[in-house]
Amino acid sequence: MKKVFKIIIALVLILAVAVVGIKVIGGNNLKKLDYHSKNIYVYDRTNEKELLSIKADERVYPASLVKIMTTLVAVENISDLSEIAPVDVETYKRMNSSNASMAGFYGRERVTYRDLLYGTMLASGGEAANSLAINISGSVDKYVEMMNDKAKELELKNTAYKNPEGLDVEGQYSSAKDIAMIVNSALNNNDFRAVFTKKSYTTTKTLDHPSGIVLKSTVLSKLDEYEQDGFEVLGGKSGTTLEAGECWATLSKKGENEYIIVVMGSELDNIKDLHYYQVEDTLNILNNIK
């Protein structure tokens, strides 16, 4: 009878974990923490091991985490990062009128592909992301096809793109796990890794900006306000909309291991009143990884 009772208890515990969507590998204590983010995925890149999965396959708005794929497709299709790639006027106007985040470039400004890459990743510039798309493929629609083709190549089951900047539109979605897998693959590209882990970058001098534009990572610059004890956040991408909440995808190092942490969906009521819960969750995870 006792044996039957133990089996029943074990089955109940397994079901409870499945219901809340939590999957923990390796006996770590990450599942015991309290999180603001609804969707979380933690991946030990060094040992190729999943550490934590909380609703990580749920399809959600990715906000500007879309720009991770935008950047990956770009670096795989640019032969010379120093080549001139002017800022597209029409998409500049559209991004400006849509209240998208902007890197600070002007329409027709004669910047380089490298400038647009850093403008997309560090400053999360909508005009930079769309200008990459048009300079590389000739149209935004064609570029989005390339992004979706890359998603298929990576065998992502819960990702679909509608634009390169990440503004919320119906039919555009991703998941915490898919985004982690995009980052994991992209980091094998040296150009991507350089952009993803850069804290600040000064763009090429132009007639519009004679001294260039100083672009700062929305992730690494924010971490100046926080203590990092025993680990280091090497780089990352932020994303924030009312629908998506506050989102982060980061690469960190603790000990000899590299970790990819994706946190998404912390609630947000006012886009001008940020809580930075994604920062809190990321650092909480890093402090507790054993």
- Residue positions annotated with a catalytic role: 64, 67, 124
Phi, psi of 189 (to 5 degrees): -95, 120
User: Token digits for 3?
Assistant: 């044996």
CA-to-CA separations, 110 to 115, 137, 205, 213, 286, in angstroms, rounded? 10, 18, 9, 13, 41
**Using only C-alpha atoms, what is the Rg of the chain?**
20
Helix, strand, coil % over all residues of the chain, rounded to 5: 40, 20, 40
Which residues are within 8 A (CB) of 92 and not within 5 positions of it... i.e. 6 or more apart?
105, 106, 107, 127, 130, 131
Say whether 162 counts as a known binding-site residue. no
CA distance 176 to 30: 16
- Binding site for substrate: what residues are annotated? 237
- Binding site: what residues are annotated? 237
